[in-house]
């Protein structure tokens, strides 16, 4: 019988060739073309934050704070901040920032942006990242105070993702219209969104910060990864996202393109829904964990770029705990557990996925689970549909899904709270003990107490298996030879931090 490792090696050799995508070609250095996997599902930064949306809108908007290229917290709209009390933090804002319509960005815009995203009626999928904030108020022309429900140590880490939207525009046009024609204060101005084709941005020559080197940026939807590589090699694109190790190898000797990679803070994982059979039985969930050869996935498919992890964090996160013992790879025992479960383990199990994910991994997981006796069928849907189901709670969440999670905050609160706590739409798990630990960890400024709580959460996940951490994801881009850019672990694509090499 063909072994899983043999199948993995075969998968690593397989490559589908595609034709170059049609669309605008790079016009010298005036136009920068980025090939995404999908078109954005939203350009309103508070409505969605999947990678293809984030890559685009992060260049239209400024955030309250940011991270520099080394990962340290850095000023953006806020130039300084101070902890006034355990529950209050005050921010000093820049006074020289204007939105793309020419109106000045004020403290009231910051307050509006915070209150908008924490309003449950607004329904932001980012709510779990910000719901510790209970109030925001302008305390002066250029100062804003945020109030949290108890001490909130992850506040600054989460605010890295808080984009500032113009109150006057959003209130005038409404949520839907703003999404179609967003107005920000960032280094690029929205110009056009041709649905299914491309989003075009124009450089903001009046930007307060570092100016971008590209007069125009075009973000195209190119679902096929081999086509993204072909476009780079043909010179019709300047940057392609989400390449695998096989495709990256094609670029190493290319005269026009090169691979760019970094280990990210993103964790690839399987999410099991304990409310749905057969995963309502903990022993079957553990059997799934024992059936997955993480090292085999990394070595056999991913070219060694990625790194297996035993917990839902990476060493880049606060909350990473050494020596967490996840279920070890043991397909023999897994098969025995499945066989002893009888009919309960024989039903068809949906494995939900989307095109943005590496389908070689999804298929390898399906094969591994088949080898221990589970009947797994892959269900591919577009990213928007996948995300909608993933955020819909236990009743509508698939029994099994493959995903990759990044909070872009480098703090355990941004990963474990939304994926585990019952208040989050992303969570299909119900465990009062884990909930209390997560609540305690986000409600104290004592770092030792936070680490102790997260250690217990990791241990609960390892034992009860609502999630199976697989590996710390490396992200591989393809870039034009002349492009100067170092990808960062938080996967932010700041066009104004790039340049051309002469």
Q: State percent of the chain over pLDDT 90.
A: 79
* 65-164: CATH number: 3.90.76.10
Q: Is residue 17's pLDDT more than 60?
A: no
CB-based burial, 62-92: b 16+ in 10 Å, e otherwise: bbbbbbeeeeeeebbbbeebeeeeebebbbb
Q: Is residue 24's pLDDT more than 60?
A: no
Domain covering 19-60+172-262+475-500, topology: D-Maltodextrin-Binding Protein; domain 2 (3.40.190)
Q: Is residue 102's pLDDT more than 60?
A: yes
Output the CA angle 148-149-154, nearest 5 degrees: 55
Separation of alpha carbons 435 and 442, rounded Å: 11
Q: At what angle do helices 432-441 and 413-420 cross, to 10 degrees?
A: 150
pLDDT tens, position by position, 352-375: 999 889 899 999 999 999 999 999
Q: Is residue 259's pLDDT more than 90?
A: yes
Separation of alpha carbons 341 and 287, rounded Å: 11
Separation of alpha carbons 60 and 176, rounded Å: 17
pLDDT tens, position by position, 33-85: 999 999 998 999 998 768 899 999 999 999 999 998 888 899 999 999 999 99
Q: Is residue 2's pLDDT more than 60?
A: no
Structural domain spans, the chain: 4-8+263-474, 19-60+172-262+475-500, 65-164
Domain 4-8+263-474 class, CATH top level: alpha beta
Average pLDDT for 89-112: 98
Average pLDDT for 412-422: 94
Indicate whether this model's pTM tops 0.85.
no
């Amino acid at each position: 019988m063909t072994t899983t490792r043999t199948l993995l090696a075969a998968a690593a050799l397989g490559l589908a060739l595609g034709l170059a995508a049609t669309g605008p070609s790079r016009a010298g250095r005036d136009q920068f073309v980025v090939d995404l996997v999908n078109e954005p599902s939203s350009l309103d930064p508070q409505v969605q934050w999947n990678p293809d949306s984030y890559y685009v809108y992060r260049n239209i908007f400024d955030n309250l704070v940011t991270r520099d290229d080394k990962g340290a917290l850095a000023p953006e709209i806020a130039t300084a901040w101070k902890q006034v009390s355990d529950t209050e933090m005050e921010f000093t804002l820049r006074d020289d920032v204007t939105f793309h319509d020419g109106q000045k960005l004020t403290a009231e815009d910051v307050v509006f942006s915070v209150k908008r995203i924490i309003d449950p009626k607004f329904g932001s999928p980012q709510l779990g990242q910000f719901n510790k904030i209970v109030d925001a108020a302008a305390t002066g022309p250029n100062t804003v105070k945020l109030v949290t429900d108890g001490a909130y140590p992850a506040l600054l880490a989460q605010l890295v993702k808080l984009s500032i939207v113009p109150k006057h525009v959003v209130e005038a046009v409404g949520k839907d219209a703003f999404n179609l024609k967003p107005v920000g204060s960032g280094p690029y101005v929205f110009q056009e969104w041709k649905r299914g084709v491309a989003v075009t941005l124009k450089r903001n020559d009046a930007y307060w910060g570092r100016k971008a080197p590209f007069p125009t940026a075009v973000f195209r939807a190119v679902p096929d990864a081999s086509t993204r590589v072909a476009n780079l090699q043909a010179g019709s694109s300047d940057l392609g996202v989400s390449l695998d190790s096989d495709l990256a190898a094609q670029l190493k000797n290319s005269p026009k393109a090169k691979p760019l990679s970094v280990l990210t803070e993103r964790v690839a994982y399987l999410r099991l829904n304990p409310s749905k059979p057969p995963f309502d039985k903990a022993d079957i969930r553990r059997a799934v964990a024992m059936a997955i050869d993480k090292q085999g996935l990394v070595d056999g498919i991913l070219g060694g770029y990625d790194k297996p992890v035993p917990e839902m964090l990476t060493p880049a996160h606060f909350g990473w705990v050494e020596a967490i013992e996840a279920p070890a790879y043991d397909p023999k025992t897994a098969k025995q557990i499945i066989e002893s479960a009888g009919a309960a383990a024989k039903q068809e199990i949906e494995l939900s996925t989307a095109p943005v994910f590496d389908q070689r991994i999804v298929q390898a997981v399906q094969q591994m689970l088949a080898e221990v006796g589970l009947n797994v069928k892959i269900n591919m849907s577009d990213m928007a549909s996948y995300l909608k189901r993933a955020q819909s709670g236990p009743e509508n969440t698939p029994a099994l899904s493959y995903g990759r999670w990044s909070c872009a905050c480098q703090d355990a609160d941004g990963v474990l709270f939304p994926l585990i706590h019952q208040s989050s739409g992303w969570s299909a798990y119900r465990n009062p003990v884990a909930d209390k630990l997560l609540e305690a960890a986000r409600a104290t400024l004592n770092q030792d107490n936070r680490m102790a709580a997260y250690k217990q959460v990791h241990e609960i996940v390892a034992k009860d298996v609502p999630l199976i951490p697989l590996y710390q994801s490396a992200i591989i881009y393809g870039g034009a030879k002349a492009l100067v850019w170092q990808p960062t672990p938080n996967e932010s694509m700041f066009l104004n931090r790039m340049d051309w090499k002469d």
